[in-house]
Amino acid sequence: MSLRLFAAIALPDHIAERLTVLMRDVPGARWRPRENLHLTLRFFGEVQEPIADDIDAELSAIADQTAPFELRLKAAGSFGGADPHALWIGAAGSEPLKKLAADIERAARRCGLKPEPHKFTPHVTLAYLANAPLGGVQAFESRLGLFETPPFRVESFGLYASWVRKSAPSLYRLEADYPLRD
């Protein structure tokens, strides 16, 4: 049996609430439900259970060597250039966040997974886009160019399973939680 897995930081409710009020005024946007808002650290893809067990062990070891840290979400952007396909809110430059993502990337490779082809861009996806007019996307980015959340403390990250559905948002289930150690 295989699982579609990713590692992510869950958002505190007070931060997620600040994001949900931003979800408006972009034609063609399929806004994500509150329960799907997270900051992905690494998408592992479809993996067999023995590999999932290896990933779990690696993530546990990483958490044991990582201290809690502060994080802020900041500014808005999109992926896809002239043909945008997603809207996001970024994460302010955080060395502990970058180190955690890099540690997880190295762990994925030790588990036999291929390197992540894209540079880590810390963000929370707010919407996927279908035929969204570029002007609407640019207006969203401009409106939220100075957006910033207060700092929040990251004390854990999780391993999630996901199931893609054609006419509804993906379903996510927390498989394991990894508390960070002081």
Structure letter (DSSP) for residue 86: E
Confidence of residue 166 (pLDDT cuts 50, 70, 90): confident
Q: What is the rounded distance in angstroms from the CA atom of residue 127 to the CA atom of residue 135?
A: 16
What domains can you pick out in the chain, each with its CATH number?
A: 2-179 (3.90.1140.10)
Which residues touch 34 (CB under 8 Å, ≥6 apart)?
A: 16, 20
pLDDT at 182 over 90: no
Q: What is the rounded distance in angstroms from the CA atom of residue 33 to the CA atom of residue 52?
A: 26
The per-residue pLDDT for 123 is 97
pLDDT at 1 over 80: no
The per-residue pLDDT for 135 is 95
The per-residue pLDDT for 179 is 98
Radius of gyration from C-alpha coordinates of the chain: 16
State the residue for tokens 């399973």. Answer: 161
The per-residue pLDDT for 132 is 94
Determine what percent of the chain is predicted with pLDDT higher than 70.
Answer: 100
Q: What does the pLDDT average to over 63-70?
A: 98
Confidence of residue 124 (pLDDT cuts 50, 70, 90): very high
Q: What does the pLDDT average to over 32-51?
A: 96
Two tokens, residue 175: 């498989």
Instruction: Give the count of beta carbons closer than 10 Å to the beta carbon of residue 109.
Output: 13
Confidence of residue 167 (pLDDT cuts 50, 70, 90): confident
Q: What is the rounded distance in angstroms from the CA atom of residue 13 to the CA atom of residue 94?
A: 21
Q: What b/e string do you get for 126-145 counting C-beta neighbours within 10 Å, with b at 16 or more?
A: bbbbeebeeebbeebbeebe
Instruction: Give the count of beta carbons closer than 10 Å to the beta carbon of residue 174.
Output: 11
Instruction: State CA 114 to chain mean position distance.
Output: 19
Q: What is the rounded distance in angstroms from the CA atom of residue 139 to the CA atom of residue 129?
A: 14
| The Cα angle at residue 20 between residues 166 and 13, in degrees rounded to 5 | 105
